[in-house]
Amino acid sequence: MSVYDHFRKEELPFVERALEMLTLAERKQAMRLTDFLDPRQAAIVKSLTSQVQDVSVTASGGYEGAERVRVLIHPDYLTPEAEEFRLTLLHVAADQRFHRLEHRDVMGALLHAGLKREKFGDMIVDENGCFAVVAEEVADFIRTQVTHIHRTPVAFEKVEWSAFQAPPVRFQEKTITVPSPRVDAVIGEVYHLSRAKAVIPIRAGRLKVNWKVIDDPSHLLQAGDMVSLAGSGRFKLLEVAGATRSGRIRMNIGLVT
């Protein structure tokens, strides 16, 4: 069986690039730094280390618990330093009395400026403001070129990592009951869709479980799974709490806010 048989067709171009980087690191005994990867891509790179010898991968998104990370592919005997991930933390300074900036506002501004999604990591919005983790090589471009978000003047200011405290992930908790842990039944209950309507986006490849596309409506969810449906948001299955008297399954979920 080929290594490519373990991945979906749309993942194969990334798998090929990752294998090339791993092979180069093995042959030249040198470090290779990726752009920002989502958790599924980072997991793919880690799994592919079985195809090379004496090569390790280390990931960092700037802070503990970061979702999007840059990965350093390196010989086993090397231990990467924090600065080698080339991460810059920017604070978005803006007058938000009339329009409070959200995650999608900042992301949209960076994309509109011509940046690829792979060049910036997490967007963190809390009571202390809005922060963006970006690749060091594009930080100055962002600071000079992105001066407005919508009609609001903004300034991207560099922040030292030592001065940053990442907020905890916040969930809006909700209890649902479903006839089974099948993903079509669960997203139907979460997003108020009939079973027939829930199947449509799943078959279209718009559903991800733990950042992997799942197009099988009968896929069974487990506690800890992160589920996202394109255009509808995402949630985490926090707990499978047992059966009700009628035989339905009680689940506690956390909608990502």
For residue 64, count CB atoms less than 10 angstroms from its CB and return exposed for 0-12, middle for 13-18, buried for 19 or more: exposed
In this structure, the answer to whether residues 180 and 236 fall within a common structural domain is: yes
pLDDT number for residue 181: 96
- Distance CA(73)–CA(42), nearest Å, equals 11
- Distance CA(224)–CA(240), nearest Å, equals 9
pLDDT digits (tens, 9 = 90+) for 213-236: 999 999 999 999 999 999 898 999
Which CATH number does the domain housing residue 73 bear?
3.30.1370.160
pLDDT digits (tens, 9 = 90+) for 5-26: 889 899 999 999 999 999 999 9
In this structure, the answer to whether residues 101 and 62 fall within a common structural domain is: no
- Distance CA(119)–CA(235), nearest Å, equals 25
In this structure, the answer to whether residues 234 and 179 fall within a common structural domain is: yes
Range of the domain at 208: 171-256
pLDDT over 90 at 166, yes or no: no
- Distance CA(249)–CA(82), nearest Å, equals 45
Read off the pLDDT of each residue in 40-45 and give the average, rounded to a whole number. Answer: 96
pLDDT over 80 at 245, yes or no: yes
pLDDT digits (tens, 9 = 90+) for 174-192: 999 999 999 999 999 999 9
Last residue of a domain, one of 147, 163, 179: 163
Which CATH number does the domain housing residue 97 bear?
3.30.70.330
pLDDT over 80 at 126, yes or no: no
Cα separation of the two ends of the chain: 42
pLDDT over 80 at 127, yes or no: no
User: At residue 32, what are phi and psi to the nearest 5 degrees?
Assistant: -135, 130
Last residue of a domain, one of 28, 52, 81: 81
In this structure, the answer to whether residues 252 and 175 fall within a common structural domain is: yes
Read off the pLDDT of each residue in 237-246 and give the average, rounded to a whole number. Answer: 92
pLDDT number for residue 14: 96
Task: Read off the amino acid at residue 162.
Answer: S
Asked if residues 230 and 187 have their Cβ atoms less than 8 Å apart, the reply is no
pLDDT number for residue 167: 80
Last residue of a domain, one of 116, 133, 163: 163
pLDDT number for residue 102: 82
pLDDT number for residue 195: 86
pLDDT digits (tens, 9 = 90+) for 88-105: 999 999 876 767 788 888
Q: How many domains does the chain have?
A: 3
Which CATH number does the domain housing residue 212 bear?
3.10.290.10
Q: Across the chain, what does the average pLDDT equal?
A: 93
In this structure, the answer to whether residues 98 and 147 fall within a common structural domain is: yes
Which is more confident, 150 or 61? 61
Q: What is the pTM of this model?
A: 0.85
